[in-house]
Chains A and B, each alone.
Chain A
Amino acid sequence: MPDIGTWVGAFLSLAILTFLYRDNPFFRFAESLFAGVALGYYIGNQTNQTIKPNLVLALARDFSANWDLIFAGLLGIGLYFRYIQKVAWLARVPLGIYVGYYVGVTLMQKLHGEVLPQMKDTILPLSAPGLAAVWNILMVVGVFSVLLYFFFSLEHRGALGVASRVGILFVMVSFGAAFGYTVMGRVSLLIGRLNFLVNDWLRPLIRAVF
């Protein structure tokens, strides 16, 4: 016989799927419950997996070695000052520090880990042997024509118009591939749910009853 967790999961899955027929109270109940549980999970997860081991226990275990963590903790608490009108402005300080930190990290990360390697990979020999030359030419034409499609400082007429029309063809192929993958992804999620309903809930239930 399926356990209570499986019964709850099956009921909520079916409640969500009823939306395919029309909006109804079962769907709205499951949707609201999901939002609430997800928030509760998030809070519990952050508290037990990050704040407790990395801040609270670290300070309690060896304060003299970890005293600087107090500043990190204060920055976190400072974000909530926005809910107290008189000191709301103080929340800008930790927010500014977080934004500054992540801008610094992301800027280097994007340039060093994305822009430069991807540019390097686009500089390809057009005289490569065999089919490689065809693929390289296709890649270079694709990159340049798409870049020209997104060049808006000149009207897309004449040679620029032709190049941008080629560019949009590449963009469309890319969208088509992305859409195909999206369909595959969504179908996979449907399969996962149906597999749960059939193999984890219905089959054990039928075996237990008959």
Chain B
Amino acid sequence: MHLVDRLLATDRRIIYLLVGLGALIPLLIPIGLPVTVTPPVRSAFEKIESLPAGSVVVISFDYGPSTAPENDPQAGAVMRHCFARGIRVVGMALYPLGGLSVAVEEINKVAAEFPVTYGVDYVNLGYKDGAQAAMRRMNEDLHELFPRDASGRPIGELLLMQEVRSLKDTDLVFSFATGIIGEWWINLVNAQFGTPVAVGSTAVGTPKYYAYLKAGQAVGLLGGLKGASEYERLLSDHYPDVARIYESPLLYTATQGMDIQTIVHLVIIALVLAGNILYFTSRIMRRSSPGGRRA
């Protein structure tokens, strides 16, 4: 068998290995590639910058552990921004498979980095089923929908929730979403009740959110790990205290992830190019061989 044909018949496991090494090496030896900020992320950042201290932002954890590597850094960055500005956070989860777990983990982790008090500066209302029906109810009465918080405490006892009776008492909804729940926040809550909505979506879901962003239905968009890394960049540039948090070697950041992402993308591009070059070389060789033309 000719070398070109042998390369074309490369075992797919070799390709897995190359992609794996492309991910592993920059994880062990970080490169620190620069991050440039795109308008959709800047728009989300500026929306939160425009809110005065004491405003209320709903952070909806509409994802589970399956997409946590993308959505966790987004949610973490936006919550750090809120706490750094003295903005109060109402956390909730509408995604059934793990939304509550990621909400509890992420809210507790970020809150521990700031001098904030549960029930005063932030709350975690927990999970509620029936996303669209729940969203409709939120605009009327959050207390009826969430009689107790994630840990089972009546929310009427929480100082923050005594002020926040419904979505009308909030200034922004930020949904971190896998699948369609982020779209529902836009085309139901924003469209029918007028509450501004921003979305942190998985990369897979990002293209469809551009249509909402362009139409002015969403005030900002963080697309996948890249969006999270851009938000981290903006936060680090504007808030030195938050920059120090991101410098901690124990914290996994989207910025570190983008180093790896870039190298893996280069490996994939190289493989696509090599595959095409080998394919066309093989075709040319077959046509010019004494056996005549073959498909």
Co-assembled chains A and B? yes
* Interface check A152, CB cutoff 8 A: no
A-side contacts of B96, CB under 8 Å:
42, 45-46
Mark interface residues in B138-150 (1 if CB within 8 Å of A CB, else 0): 0000000111101
* Interface check A24, CB cutoff 8 A: no
B27 with A101: CB separation less than 8 A: no
In the complex, the number of residue pairs spanning A and B with C-beta atoms less than 8 Å apart equals: 146
B-side contacts of A192, CB under 8 Å:
68-70, 257
A199 with B261: CB separation less than 8 A: no
Residue of B nearest to A189 (CB): B69
State which of A49, A54, A113 has its C-beta within 8 Å of the C-beta of B188: A113
The total of chain A residues at the interface (CB under 8 A) is 46
B148 with A105: CB separation less than 8 A: no
Mark interface residues in B196-208 (1 if CB within 8 Å of A CB, else 0): 0000001110110
A105 with B132: CB separation less than 8 A: yes
Measured between C-beta atoms, what is the minimum distance from B81 to chain A in Å?
21
A182 with B16: CB separation less than 8 A: no
* Interface check A147, CB cutoff 8 A: no
Q: Which residues of A come within 8 Å of B, CB atoms?
A: 20-21, 38, 41-42, 45-46, 49-50, 53-54, 57-58, 101-102, 105-106, 108-110, 112-114, 117-118, 120-121, 174, 177-178, 181-185, 187-195, 198-199
Main secondary structure of the interface of A (DSSP, over half): helix
Q: Can you sample 28 A-B contacts with CB below 8 Å?
A: A50-B130, A53-B146, A54-B128, A58-B147, A102-B133, A109-B187, A109-B188, A109-B191, A110-B187, A112-B187, A113-B188, A114-B191, A117-B216, A117-B217, A121-B214, A181-B224, A185-B67, A187-B264, A188-B225, A188-B261, A189-B69, A190-B20, A191-B27, A191-B257, A191-B260, A194-B23, A194-B27, A195-B252
* Interface check B112, CB cutoff 8 A: no
Known pairs A105-B133, A105-B136; A188 contacts B192 (CB<8 A): no
State which of B129, B184, B204, B216 has its C-beta within 8 Å of the C-beta of A181: B204
Known pairs A53-B147, A58-B147, A106-B132; A181 contacts B69 (CB<8 A): no
B147 with A184: CB separation less than 8 A: no
